[in-house]
Amino acid sequence: MFTRKILVVEDEKILASNIRNSLQKLGYSVSEITNSGEEAIKKVAETHPNLVLINICLAGEIDGIDVADIIQNRLHVPVVYLTECSEDKTLQKNQLSEAFSYIVKPFIESDLHFAIEMALYKHQSKKILHEEKQRLRAIINSMGCGVIVTSTNGCIQMINPIAELITGWKQSEASGKNLVEVVKLVDKDIGETIGNLATYVIEAGEVVNLPENCIIITKDGKEIAIGDNIAPIRDPNGHITGAVLVFQDITKRKQTEAQLIHNAFYDGLTALPNRVLFLDRLRQTIERSKRKSDYYFAVLFLDLDGFKEINDRFGHGIGDDFLVAIARRLESCLRGWDTVARFGGDEFTILLEDIKDITDATNIAKRIQDSLRLTLNLNGYQLSTTASIGITWNFSNSNYDEPATVLRDADIAMYRAKRQGKATYTIFS
């Protein structure tokens, strides 16, 4: 697989250098680093990078937004914005706060990697979709997506074979019907039925994209995710003569996107939340505790005792199966709203939200120890373990502001438990 080239546009030299190092560690090639918008546009045209990472508040005659607009819309290269805050007014003003279009500084390498990969994926998807739409418009009857043409009153004139297949309506049945009788659309984000888009675009005289999470309810009541747009049809004189709805089944694309997101936030072996998702939930919990003085939470840092010996004696296959079984046991010890994550290797972290006091956390630690001691039968082997558990909670440090601080204290407590002979828990003090 070829190495993707990235152009970095950042006027802070130290930050730009750090970004270069991070990108190279992640396996990307940094084609150039530039600190001006004008130079960035020139470099994109010369070097043809796969993606541009750009400071949204770039100094110079052309700001970061204008530069990015030229790069994306004229040079057709995807852009990820670097910003100081996700609530940045520049983001909101320019409607750039959609998922994966920006990354907030400072960031960790995994976040950077995810943002870049998602931007590349979305760009590739849009590129493929655009090329397909251009080709399909030429010969409507052989199009690979649904096409429905309406008259100026919003009634159906023509429906192509793909549209028949998706909607469940035949041309003979659909002809003359109002568009909303055949194409029943629902915006899943807000749970509302969408009205007759044909009459809307005819009145507005503009193309309308279907909502991001749009479904069509077929004739037999099945729900299918669809995407694309509806546009007014104009004659050679510019007069609107109707509307054309172009759509396609994007179920597979949605599944692929969901899988990408799942892979980014969940451990591939145990299916537990991973470090990224755990830190995000912990960060939200910290913010919640700041708003409510009586809102307590606890974090347990858990390290399995003797897991290395199991791996060495029985092999990594049994070791992996053992970790999966342990993950299920940990889940069974928690309440429905708590979070258990695999932090790496045989280390797990647990977030207990809305607890009354430290007793709630210690009771769960005891429950975990009791559960881990129960014998597991894996491939004929009888295995069990214990754990060293470190516990911290926000009453012990009411000034917790960062997830890293909470984890540091829980980790310190866990190592104290190790030194005390393992198979126990220690509360950070």
Give domain limits for the chain: 5-135, 137-250, 266-427
Q: Which residue in 223, 225, 213, 215 sits closest to 249, CA to CA?
A: 225
Instruction: Answer whether 0.75 is exceeded by the pTM.
Output: no
Percent of the chain with pLDDT over 70: 92
Classify burial at 220, counting beta carbons within 10 Å of its beta carbon; exposed 0-12, middle 13-18, buried 19 or more.
exposed
| Range with lowest mean pLDDT among 95-104, 177-186, 262-271, 356-365 | 95-104
d(CA 69, CA 360): 53
**What's the pLDDT score for residue 182?**
92
5-135 folds as Rossmann fold (3.40.50)
Q: Which of 56-65, 89-98, 133-142 has the highest mean pLDDT?
A: 56-65
CB 390 within 8 A of CB 272: no
Residue type, position 27, single letter: G
HSE toward the beta carbon, residue 197, CA cutoff 13 A: 27
Chain centroid offset of residue 278 CA = 14
Q: Return all residues near 83 (Cβ < 8 A) that are at least 6 apart.
A: 56, 57, 90, 91, 102, 103, 104, 105
Tell whether the model's pLDDT for residue 92 goes beyond 60.
no
- pLDDT, greater one: 133 or 37: 37
Q: Which two tokens stand for residue 418?
A: 């190790």
**What's the pLDDT score for residue 155?**
93
**What's the pLDDT score for residue 72?**
85
**What's the pLDDT score for residue 414?**
94
Tell me the mean pLDDT in the region 135-146.
Answer: 66
What is the b/e burial string over 85-108, where b = at least 16 CB atoms within 10 angstroms of the residue's CB?
eeebebbeebebbeebbbbbeeee
SS3 letters across 13-66: HHHHHHHHHHHHHCCCEEEEEECCHHHHHHHHHHHCCCEEEEECCCCCCCCHHH
Tens digits of per-residue pLDDT, 217-241? 999 999 999 988 999 999 888 899 9
CB 108 within 8 A of CB 79: no
**What's the pLDDT score for residue 95?**
46
- pLDDT, greater one: 146 or 57: 146
Tell whether the model's pLDDT for residue 138 goes beyond 60.
no
**What's the pLDDT score for residue 243?**
93
Mean pLDDT score of the chain, rounded to an integer?
87
Kind of pairing between the strands at 51-55 and 5-9: parallel
d(CA 37, CA 55): 10
Tell me the mean pLDDT in the region 14-40.
Answer: 88
**What's the pLDDT score for residue 173?**
93
Q: Which two tokens stand for residue 108?
A: 């960790």
**Alpha-carbon distance values, 272 to 135, 376, 384 (Å):** 43, 19, 20
HSE toward the beta carbon, residue 78, CA cutoff 13 A: 22
Class at the top of the CATH hierarchy for domain 266-427: alpha beta
Q: Which residue in 251, 198, 203 sits closest to 227, CA to CA?
A: 251
Residue type, position 263, single letter: N
**CATH assignment of 137-250, given 1.10.3720.10, 3.40.50.12780, 3.30.230.70, 3.30.450.20?**
3.30.450.20
CB 389 within 8 A of CB 425: yes
Q: Using alpha carbons only, give the angle 26, 29, 32 rounded to the nearest 5 degrees.
A: 130
3-class DSSP assignment, residue 403: helix
Tell whether the model's pLDDT for residue 364 goes beyond 80.
yes
Q: What is the chain's alpha carbon radius of gyration, rounded to the nearest angstrom?
A: 27
d(CA 206, CA 346): 56
Q: Which two tokens stand for residue 38?
A: 């004008």
Tens digits of per-residue pLDDT, 380-421? 888 889 999 999 998 755 678 899 999 999 999 999 999 998
Q: Given phi > 0 = left and psi -120 to 50 = alpha, else beta, which region is 202?
A: alpha
**What's the pLDDT score for residue 100?**
54
Residue type, position 149, single letter: V
